[in-house]
Structure 1
Amino acid sequence: MKLNSILLAMLEVSEGVDPGVDGTHVMETVDGISVTQYDGEKVTRNVDSVIPSVGPEINKSPHSTWSFNIDAAGSGTKGTAPAFGCLLQACGFVETVDTATPGSETVTYELSHNKSKTVTLVRHTGGKMIQKTHGVRGELSIDFNQFVRMQFGNCKGSYVRPSPGGNPVTIAYSNYADPLPINKDNTVTVELGGQALKMTGGSINFGGGVNHRNIPNSESSAHGDFEPTGQVTFIAPDIAAKNYFADAESHNGVTEQAFKLVHGTVGGNIIEIVSARVQLSNISESDIDGDVGFQADIRFLEAPKLIFK
């Protein structure tokens, strides 16, 4: 579904304070932007009465909750963060730009339990309505079925009443290369435990559930624990070459292995997702076009890094 709607996002210098978002901070979202404008914990007062009635409902912690998808791609320039890098930082990642070695510049995102940064989100709808929210933190998951699709969910920030207003005068998509579909040409590496996977789908959920807190002397959205897990579906390799059932066993010790995915071949639009310590926690069979397939659940004992090259 394509809606008459755009999303803007920008890192906040001070948490909860609008940094001056404009049309140069537009995000290339896909499949719609979902917003619960007036979210929050509702409480009631059950006032005694002789009249058949219900008590009034009161929003104790008004906030907005957003979700949206972005098909990941690099910025098009090595060492330059992608436009959605601000959203990754609001989902608990720390951004590190390395330009020390010309030709090998990278931008790396790593999960951290330190307090994450926040963004302001602005949605323009139909050229008639503007919805804002500040102090936003969210949750990230990645889907590997068609594109490297970043799913930003449970993004919570302060409630700001929607207001009339047109679209930005200037809308400029910058730091966006073209997203590439997942296939043999573009996705040059998918490995689990050193074995190349003929992957037909997969996902990673980075955890870090967000709650909005409105208490005396404090209002903010806060992350919970980051506990990354995932799943991959792939055509089963020859068991003599790789026995994943042995890797899944944990009754006599846990087998740790590495996971690596490399997507893209041109500098400025290469994405690596890597973890040196993964546990295969469950494995089941599936039918993949007549071939025996495996669906494996994985636990990231070391959170995956997202590296843009």
Structure 2
Amino acid sequence: MRKHRKLAILAKIEPVYGTDSVPTGAANAILATDVTLTPLAGEDINRDLLLPWLGHQGIELVGNYVQMEFSVECAGAGAAGTVPAYGALLRACGLSETITPSTSVDYEPVSDGEESVSVYFNQDGVRHVALGCRGSFQLDIAAKQIPRFRFQLMGLLGTVTDSALPAADVSAFQKPVPVSNANTSFSLHGAARISERVSFDLGVDVVPRFLIGDERIQLVARQSTGSVVVEAKAMASANWFDIAQAKTLGALELIHGTVAGHIVRLDAPSVQIGRPTMGETNRITNYALPLIFQPQSGNDEFTLSIR
């Protein structure tokens, strides 16, 4: 019998794509929640032979890879200018990492040279190894909730073996603060907004490519989007319908946390508003606004800053 909740996830950047970087519990453990693993994804093919009798002819399992999905709490690194414990995951989603000592660690999108991670997924003594892992994520900031990243990763199929659970050191993960007026601020198109929820979707398109001479998980496209639910005000405050129809671009600023070392900030300079829809919460009218994050001069549609 294996217990489902006894789990260790380790992730470490690969200097060479697809080569096991050998993550350890002491240095590379990930503190995750709401975890799912598809240990043998891929395609099924059959020979489809015509024979004098009927019946299944069996299948071939081809293009085998690993899929995993999990959430990580959104919090700072404990000290400004320190890489957060989940930094390797952000880099595996096609983001660069720039460290400014004692100030911040900034993550910005790239369009080539994307990195990858080796992941060890050990569930109560059975270890699944995934190499060359890349993926995408969403960030959800909702009032009265713990903010979380939701990662989706794909990796090349490694070994599945009996292996003792590692001693996972997750002390680098900081305790998050809930989303609230005191802890969180949000502005859109030049003014602070009262909002119920802000979401961001990195929107990376990840494909498994199994070819003659090469096998890899490849990032092939990126279209970052999001949404926000804002309290409805008079049109003089913000006419979101005119803004959407005019395709006006404006800045977005989301700051969660107030103490240095525990701040996560999302800045985007050119955000387009999609088609607004009306709704209500507690009998108060609101607008749900789709967000489209556009680059200005390339790979600059947003900066995720850990401060």
For residues 12-42 of structure 1, what are the alpha-carbon distances to aligned partners after superposition, in whole Å with 9 as ceiling and x for unaligned?
11111111211121111012x2111111122
**TM-score after normalising by structure 1:** 0.92
Q: Say whether the 8 Å CA contact 2:139–2:148 is kept in structure 1.
A: yes
Q: From 232, 244, 267, give the equivalent of 2:260.
A: 267
For residues 234-260 of structure 1, what are the alpha-carbon distances to aligned partners after superposition, in whole Å with 9 as ceiling and x for unaligned?
21123222222221113xxx2111111
Cα distance in 2 for residues equivalent to 1:179 and 1:304: 22
Task: Indicate the SS of the match to 1:87.
Answer: helix
Task: Give the corresponding residue for 2:168.
Answer: 171
Cα distance in 2 for residues equivalent to 1:108 and 1:237: 34
Task: Indicate the SS of the match to 2:217.
Answer: strand
Per-residue deviation at 1:47?
Answer: 1.3
Q: Which amino acid aligns with 2:180?
A: N
Task: Give the corresponding residue for 2:134.
Answer: 137
Cα distance in 1 for residues equivalent to 2:52 and 2:258: 73
Greater displacement, 215-224 / 231-240: 231-240
Unpaired segments of 5 or more residues in structure 2?
A: 296-300
Q: Which amino acid aligns with 2:151?
A: F
Q: Which amino acid aligns with 2:149?
A: M
Matched, 1:30 2:33: yes
Task: Indicate the SS of the match to 2:63.
Answer: coil
Q: Say whether the 8 Å CA contact 1:195–1:242 is kept in structure 2.
A: no
Q: Which amino acid aligns with 2:134?
A: R
Per-residue deviation at 1:143?
Answer: 1.3
Matched, 1:256 2:255: no
Give the 5 Å matches for 1:1-309: 3-24=5-26, 25-31=28-34, 33-99=35-101, 103=102, 105-126=103-124, 128-145=125-142, 146-153=145-152, 155-168=153-166, 170-187=167-184, 189-250=185-246, 254-302=247-295, 303-309=301-307
Task: Indicate the SS of the match to 1:159.
Answer: strand
Task: Indicate the SS of the match to 2:21.
Answer: coil
Cα distance in 1 for residues equivalent to 2:268 and 2:22: 36
**CA RMSD, aligned part only?**
1.4
Unpaired segments of 5 or more residues in structure 1?
A: none
For residues 172-198 of structure 1, what are the alpha-carbon distances to aligned partners after superposition, in whole Å with 9 as ceiling and x for unaligned?
1143221111111111x2011122121
4+ residue segments displaced more than 4 Å:
none
Per-residue deviation at 1:214?
Answer: 1.2
How many correspondences in the alignment?
Answer: 296
Per-residue deviation at 1:58?
Answer: 1.1
Residue identity over aligned pairs, in percent, reads 25
**TM-score after normalising by structure 2:** 0.93
